Amino acid sequence: MKTTNKFSLPHGSVFLAFLIFAGGLFAAKPAVPALDGEWWSIASNPDLGKFNKEGQQPVDFAIWQAADGTWQLWSCIRRTNYPGNTRLLYGWEAKNLTDTDWTPKGIVMEADPSLGETEGGLQAPHVIKVDGVYYMFYGDWERICLATSRDGKKFERIKNERGQPDLFTGPYPQTRDPMVVKIGGLYHCYYSGHREKTATAPLAAIFCRTSSDLLHWSEPVVVSAGGAAVSRSRWHGGDAECPFVIARDGLFYLFRNQRYGKEGVHTQYASSNPLSFGVNDDRYEIGTMLAAAPEIIQHDGQDYIASVKPDFNGIRVARLKWVIQP
Does residue 2 form part of some domain? no
Does pLDDT of 26 surpass 50? Answer: no
pLDDT reported for residue 28? 67
How much is the pLDDT for 70?
98
Residue 9 lies in a domain: no
- Number of structural domains (the chain) is 1
Question: What integer pLDDT is reported at residue 27 of this predicted model?
Answer: 53
Beta pairing partners, 320: 35, 303
Is the pLDDT assigned to residue 15 strictly greater than 80? no
When the pLDDT of each residue in the chain is averaged and rounded to a whole number, the result is 93
Q: Is residue 1 part of a domain?
A: no
In a domain, residue 5? The reply is no
In a domain, 6, yes or no: no
Q: What is the DSSP string of 102-150?
A: PEEEEEEE---GGGTPPTTB-EEEEEEEETTEEEEEEE-SSEEEEEEES
Q: What CATH number is given to the structural domain containing 212?
A: 2.115.10.20
- Please report the pLDDT score of residue 29 as a whole number: 86
Residue 2: pLDDT band with limits 50, 70, 90 = very low
Domain membership flag for residue 3 = no
C-alpha of 119 from chain center: 21
pTM for the full predicted model: 0.91
Could you tell me the CA-to-CA distances from 322 to 21, 30, 38, 82, 270 in Å, in that order? 23, 9, 16, 41, 12
Q: pLDDT (tens digit, 9 = 90+) per residue, 189-233?
A: 999 999 999 999 999 999 999 999 999 999 999 999 999 999 999
Per-residue pLDDT tens digits for 113-141: 999 999 999 999 999 999 999 999 999 99
> Distance (Å, rounded) from C-alpha 207 to C-alpha 209?
7
pLDDT at position 264 is: 96
- For the chain, how are helix, strand and coil distributed in percent, rounded to 5? 10, 50, 45
State the pairing for strand pair 57-65/71-78: antiparallel
Q: What percent of the chain has pLDDT above 70?
A: 91
CB atoms within 10 A of CB 25: 7
Q: How far apart are CA 253 and CA 294, in angstroms?
A: 12
* Short-list 242, 254, 250, CA closest to 287: 254
| Exposure on the CB side of residue 78, measured as CA atoms within 13 A | 13
Give yes or no for residue 313 having a pLDDT over 50: yes
Give the structural domain span for 278.
14-324
